[in-house]
Amino acid sequence: MTNFEEHNTQQEPEQLTPLQERLRREELEAQRKRDKKGKGGSKVGYFMSGLSGIVIGALLLWLLLPSLVGQLPGTQQSNPTTDSSNKTIQQNVTEVSTDATGAVEKVSDAVVGITNIQQVTNFWDQSTSSEKTGSGSGVIYKIDGDKAFIVTNHHVIDRAQQLEVTLADGSKEDAQLVGSDIWTDLAVIAIDSKNVKTTAKFGDSDVLKQGETVIAIGNPLGLEFYGSVTKGIVSGKDRSVPVDLNNDGQPDWQTEVLQTDAAINPGNSGGALVNIAGELVGINSMKIAQSSVEGLGFSIPINSAIPIIEELEQHGEVKRPAMGVSLLDLTEVPAFYQQQTLKIPQEITTGVVVTDVVRGSAAEAAGVQQYDVIVEMDGKKIENSIELRKHLYNEKEVGDTLTLKVYRQGKIVELKLALNTNATI
């Protein structure tokens, strides 16, 4: 009996021989490999195309960048460009010149450094040696034959056994003291003129105006900062600054100075204060050095300095009239001694006490006595020793007669002195 299987709607596969089956499988395997390779190859192709674009773009940028740099905003070429004939094009340099720079150029070479050399004793073996004990500045103002004259401050050269001057070109010269004056804080020294090429021209300090530009030139803190320049204005004229000359803590004198806010530091002393025309209008002298104070420098007016400079050249000192007394302000005397020793009226609160009379002096010849209290000179009220000195030194000359009114044991006595130069006061 014939067996029948369930009818299938799908056509039965064609029966293949073993050889055909093997060939078919190999063909399918080959086809799968081709398909796989085709998918991977397209990715590689896309990557290679992108990479090629980047490389080509970078290459073009590298080639074009040098020509674009000079055209971009805010860019400059660091190397000089060349024209078509291969010649270097030089940049134009503008030299800046102002009134201030012109003034400095006129006078800066006349400002010098001054070194104070003294004999110093070694504490341990008591040996002595020459050492530099300080430095300051000075101004060459005149050449006379083989000598060049320099004005500076008295305190710059005070107690020096040797003086050394440093010129603007760095050369050094031995200097000789011509003369000095403690009261005006001025001194004149001289050096050989062979290496001096510039001198300062005197200006007129009387015509300076408050607010006018001035320039200070000197060597602050020593020769390391040689020729430093600072600029400011005339802050004030006809200033009086009390100074202590004997280091006793009491003012002995009032120096007439110009006030400026141009920086003046230790080492600037003796340097130049010049106007905008480059003329010497002052000799820098001092500053108020306090933590709460700024911009208070002082300079000796050149019109006040010139007569002193001339007298120092001629005589080596300033010849001033002298009374021949030692003084003490009445305000420094305790009330008990004012009443018991001086016996002055209670309403008299100011004046100058004569504490000592120099033998052979004008004061002794006129009959001035110890404990006299000076209250008037030539009809002018005298309240302290500074006023006394100012009247004596500024108003009187050697050989003049000075009229005094003094309290002596409670009574007014009038005296006349023929002034000479035998004593300091």
Mean pLDDT of 21-26: 70
| Residue 63 pLDDT | 60
Rg (C-alpha) for the chain, rounded Å, is 47
| Residue 50 pLDDT | 59
| Residue 272 pLDDT | 97
Mean pLDDT of 71-96: 56
Place of tokens 């009379």: 357
| Residue 238 pLDDT | 87
Taking residue 219's Cβ as centre, other Cβ atoms within 10 Å add up to 28
Query: Which domains are present in the chain?
Result: 99-192 (2.40.10.10), 205-315 (2.40.10.10), 325-418 (2.30.42.10)
Whether residue 67 is predicted with pLDDT greater than 60 in this model: the reply is: no
Higher pLDDT, 422 or 416: 416
175 vs 162: CA distance, rounded Å: 8
123-132 pLDDT per residue, tens: 787 888 888 8
147-156, 161-170, 221-230: segment of lowest average pLDDT: 221-230
Long-range CB pairs of 399-403 (<8 Å, 24+ gap) are 399/321, 400/321, 402/321, 402/323, 402/377, 402/378, 403/376, 403/377, 403/378, 403/379
Q: How many helices (H) and strands (E) does the chain have?
A: 7, 18
Q: Is 65 helix (H, G, I), strand (E, B) or coil?
A: helix
305 vs 236: CA distance, rounded Å: 18
Whether residue 413 is predicted with pLDDT greater than 70 in this model: the reply is: yes
Mean pLDDT, the chain, whole residue set: 84
| Residue 10 pLDDT | 42
| Residue 64 pLDDT | 59
Whether residue 417 is predicted with pLDDT greater than 70 in this model: the reply is: yes
181-228 pLDDT per residue, tens: 999 999 999 999 999 999 999 999 999 999 999 999 999 877 888 889
| Residue 288 pLDDT | 67
67-76, 222-231, 316-325, 386-395: segment of lowest average pLDDT: 67-76
Determine what percent of the chain is predicted with pLDDT higher than 90. 60
The residues annotated as belonging to the active site are 155, 185, 269
| Residue 422 pLDDT | 54
Mean pLDDT of 330-356: 94
| Residue 261 pLDDT | 92
> pTM (2 decimals)?
0.72
Whether residue 9 is predicted with pLDDT greater than 50 in this model: the reply is: no
270 vs 283: CA distance, rounded Å: 6
Higher pLDDT, 89 or 74: 89
The confidence band for 387, taking pLDDT boundaries of 50, 70 and 90, is very high
| Residue 95 pLDDT | 72
